[in-house]
């Protein structure tokens, strides 16, 4: 059994401010230690259920050099540094049996959510429209004090299920996706289910709306962009270990999030300079309005890589 654990930083228990997530700020070392400890809890949970599992941990925040290698559980292998293929999901492939997202945050424009954004501050929204699968499922999240065990939802239990009928347009409504959805869909493109996500309650609700069967672990309740009611870090780690063991044991019951092509993608960008750069990419065009670019991709893997390129272009400043 192979598992990939993708670890971001904003959704870690105890973290509420950019001073704890930015390498140039005074409290960053504390953030690194909290992040590494939660990664270790999830590694332990995976190995509690699958003692012989091959566990890769992808450092998925900022520079991708945040997790402390010497403090990471020695039974796992660390994917560290950038640039790299698949970005936050480096190490994922078709042989992976389960993906687990730790310390994730809600997308830009949603909330209240702790340190909410999508990729970076320049991407305001990403909307993806594609072919509907056999059925589209939407569920709801759970609060920070509820049981961490995920539930497989069925019609009639607060879940809306829709499917196109013969003769109907099979294009889905444009869906706004943040890092949770974009990464989950990339895993789904490779046939890999996301079985667990941890973060604040807003991030867990976002994940549950996309993958109702996945286990979510709210480690804090967001009060705003830089405020939350947070679990004690040790309590959060205990919950994460139990939840990871449960999620991995039920991995065959959790479907991958599949977005089938062709896919229409629109991205709202904050900087006019980034939009100018984006239109240099073949197939990317400026749409009506001041801040939106669009493209069509034959499949989600292509769409994902173009979205990553837009995020990278956003880091380039005018000469």
Domain ranges of the chain: 2-108+144-158+178-253
- For 173-226, how does the pLDDT look when each residue is reduced to its tens digit (9 = 90+)? 789 999 999 999 999 999 999 999 999 999 999 999 999 999 999 999 999 999
Task: Please tell me the distance from the alpha carbon of residue 274 to that of residue 121, in angstroms, as a whole number.
Answer: 12
**CA 273 from centroid of its chain's CA atoms:** 27
CATH superfamily name and code, 2-108+144-158+178-253:
Dipeptide transport protein (3.40.50.10780)
Task: Please tell me the distance from the alpha carbon of residue 12 to that of residue 227, in angstroms, as a whole number.
Answer: 13
What pLDDT, on a 0 to 100 scale, did the predictor assign at position 172?
64
User: pLDDT-derived band of residue 261, with 50, 70 and 90 as boundaries?
Assistant: confident
- For 78-98, how does the pLDDT look when each residue is reduced to its tens digit (9 = 90+)? 999 999 999 999 999 999 999
Task: Please tell me the distance from the alpha carbon of residue 170 to that of residue 167, in angstroms, as a whole number.
Answer: 9
- For 8-60, how does the pLDDT look when each residue is reduced to its tens digit (9 = 90+)? 999 999 999 999 999 888 899 999 999 999 999 999 999 999 999 999 999 99
Say if residue 289's pLDDT is above 90: no
What pLDDT, on a 0 to 100 scale, did the predictor assign at position 171?
53
3-state helix, strand, coil in the chain (%, to 5): 30, 25, 45
């Amino acid at each position: 059994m192979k598992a990939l654990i993708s670890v971001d930083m904003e959704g870690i228990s105890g973290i509420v401010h950019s001073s704890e997530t930015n390498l140039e700020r005074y409290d960053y070392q504390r953030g690194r230690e909290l992040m590494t400890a939660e990664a270790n809890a999830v590694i332990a949970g995976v190995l509690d259920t699958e003692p012989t599992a091959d566990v890769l941990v992808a450092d998925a925040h900022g520079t991708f050099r945040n997790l402390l290698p010497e403090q990471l559980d020695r039974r796992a292998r660390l994917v560290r540094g950038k640039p790299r293929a698949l970005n936050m999901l480096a190490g994922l492939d078709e042989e992976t049996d389960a993906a687990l997202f730790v310390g994730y945050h809600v997308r830009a424009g949603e909330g209240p959510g702790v340190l909410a954004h999508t990729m970076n501050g320049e991407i305001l929204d990403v909307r993806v429209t594609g072919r509907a699968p056999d059925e589209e499922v939407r569920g709801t999240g759970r609060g920070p004090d509820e049981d961490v065990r995920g539930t497989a939802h069925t019609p009639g239990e607060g879940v809306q299920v829709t499917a196109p009928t013969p003769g109907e347009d099979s294009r889905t409504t444009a869906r706004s996706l943040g890092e949770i959805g974009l990464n989950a869909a990339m895993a789904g493109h490779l046939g890999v289910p996301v079985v667990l996500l941890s973060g604040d309650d807003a991030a867990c609700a976002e994940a549950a709306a996309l993958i109702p069967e996945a286990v979510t672990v709210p480690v804090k309740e967001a009060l705003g962009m830089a405020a939350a009611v947070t679990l004690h870090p040790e309590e959060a780690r205990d919950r994460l270990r139990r939840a990871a063991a449960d999620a991995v044991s039920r991995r065959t019951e959790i479907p991958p999030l599949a977005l089938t092509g062709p896919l229409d993608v629109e991205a709202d960008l904050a900087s006019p300079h980034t939009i100018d750069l984006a239109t240099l990419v073949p197939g990317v065009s400026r749409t009506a309005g001041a801040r939106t670019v669009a493209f069509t991709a034959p499949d989600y893997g292509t769409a994902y890589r173009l979205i990553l390129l837009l995020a990278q272009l956003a880091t380039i400043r005018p000469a």
